[in-house]
């Protein structure tokens, strides 16, 4: 399973990239707003920090406008992935970009039929939003499972990028279902390593080791 981080905060991205565990980055207009920085500047910096796909989202609502914006964004770096909304216009733009070999991430997916359309439009990634479905009392993980089955039934190459992840259990459950990628907020991603028994065990080992008076180097 690939791990993307869902943020436009370059300090968090730097820290996570240094672990070697990061496969890509996703951003959206809200995350750009939160960064307080000009979009093109922050996206360019992120593209230098990670080798994998960096999703940059268009904001036009018609395919022609989306494609114009995509041209600008693609010029930033080779690892740009164009993020498009799950609308008919977004799917039209997706097909054009896919035919040109540009990576695409179709976002704001809330149903299996939407995911089916994105795969038919040649999307590189489909982003089903788990947390926002949970927020309205719909089981977000069921959507991931449905998409997995549909894509496997037909051999679609579109990767399932589980998005709107809120908890460590979301990550584990998406991995069990077989999502290809999870895009995770920085704090949740860093939190995956935590276990109280690891901390307790390490503390005991350190204490016993100190009692031996030895050193390895």
> Do 27 and 56 contact (CB within 8 A), yes or no?
yes
Q: Which of 9, 26, 171, 179 touches ligand E4P (CB under 6 A)?
A: 26
CA-based nearest residue to 115, from 179, 59, 54, 165: 179
The two tokens of residue 204 are 């005991």
Asked if 6 touches ligand E4P (CB under 6 A), the answer is yes
Site for ligand E4P, residues 52 to 111, rule: CB under 6 A: 107
Asked if 127 touches ligand E4P (CB under 6 A), the answer is yes
Mark the segment that binds ligand E4P (CB under 6 A) among 15-23, 40-48, 123-131, 152-160: 123-131
The DSSP bridge pattern shows strands 54-57 and 2-6 to be unpaired
Those residues whose C-beta lies under 8 Å from the C-beta of residue 14, and which sit 6 or more positions away, are 49
CA 59 vs CA 30, 80, 130: distances in Å: 11, 16, 22
CA 86 vs CA 38, 53, 60, 128, 216: distances in Å: 25, 19, 13, 10, 56
Mark the segment that binds ligand E4P (CB under 6 A) among 16-24, 34-42, 129-137, 173-181: 129-137
Site track 162-181 with ligand E4P (rule: CB under 6 A), x = hit = -xx-----------------
Minimum distance, C-beta of residue 131 to ligand E4P, in the bound complex (Å): 5
The two tokens of residue 81 are 């992935």
Asked if 2 touches ligand E4P (CB under 6 A), the answer is no
DSSP H or E run through 119: helix 112-120
Mark the segment that binds ligand E4P (CB under 6 A) among 15-23, 39-47, 125-133, 186-194: 125-133
Catalytic residues: 83
Please report, as ranges, the residues that interact with ligand E4P according to CB under 6 A.
6, 26, 28, 107, 127, 129, 131-132, 163-164, 183
């Amino acid at each position: 399973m690939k791990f993307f981080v869902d943020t436009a905060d370059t300090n968090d991205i730097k820290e996570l990239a240094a672990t070697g565990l990061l496969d890509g980055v996703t951003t959206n207009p809200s995350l750009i707003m939160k960064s307080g920085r000009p979009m093109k500047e922050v996206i360019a910096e992120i593209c230098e920090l990670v080798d994998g796909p960096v999703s940059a989202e268009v904001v036009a609502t018609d395919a022609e406008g989306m494609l114009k914006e995509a041209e600008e964004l693609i010029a930033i770096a080779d690892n740009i992935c164009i993020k498009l909304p799950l609308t008919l216009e977004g799917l039209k733009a997706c097909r054009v970009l896919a035919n040109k070999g540009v990576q695409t991430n179709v976002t704001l997916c809330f149903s299996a039929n939407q995911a089916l359309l994105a795969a038919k439009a040649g999307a590189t990634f489909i982003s089903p939003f788990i947390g926002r479905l949970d927020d309205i009392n719909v089981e977000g993980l069921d959507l991931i499972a449905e998409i997995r089955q549909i894509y496997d039934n037909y051999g679609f190459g579109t990767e399932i990028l589980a998005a709107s992840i809120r908890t460590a259990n979301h990550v584990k459950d998406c991995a069990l279902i077989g999502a290809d990628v999870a895009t995770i907020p920085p704090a949740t991603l860093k939190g995956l390593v935590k276990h109280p028994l690891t901390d307790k065990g390490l503390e005991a080992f350190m204490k016993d080791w100190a009692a031996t008076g030895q050193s390895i180097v």
